[in-house]
Amino acid sequence: MYQNHQRTVREKERRLEACQRDTERANRECQRLNRLKSELLVEQGRLQLQSDCQAQNVRNRDSLVKSLASYLEMEGYERAPLQRATAQELPPAGEGEAGP
């Protein structure tokens, strides 16, 4: 009877050690994934900032193109948003101006 009890105790100790190893492994993996999540959130924030900046640059470009087109009395540039090709159709500086 005592030997059965000892065998049961040893088996439970082995299972406990296995569970503790699994828990430690899971904790390390959780820490790794949390670090990765933090890095990805930082990257997401950086990309969102770039996106916002780019959107503002496009709005500024559209406004400048409309102002220039209005000043040069050019048709077709008054609607928003302008497509890249439409904005690039403007003549280079100096070509749209009247000569001396």
**Residue ranges of the chain whose pLDDT lies below 70:** 80, 84-88, 90-100
**Torsion of Cα atoms, 67 then 69 then 70 then 73, to 10°:** 160
- Residue 77: its pLDDT value, please? 77
Predicted TM-score (pTM) of this structure: 0.60
How far is Cα 36 from Cα 74, in angstroms, rounded to an integer? Answer: 52
- Residue 100: its pLDDT value, please? 40
- Residue 52: its pLDDT value, please? 98
- Residue 76: its pLDDT value, please? 80
- Residue 20: its pLDDT value, please? 98
- Residue 54: its pLDDT value, please? 97
- Pick the closest to residue 68 from 94, 31, 48, 47 (CA basis): 94
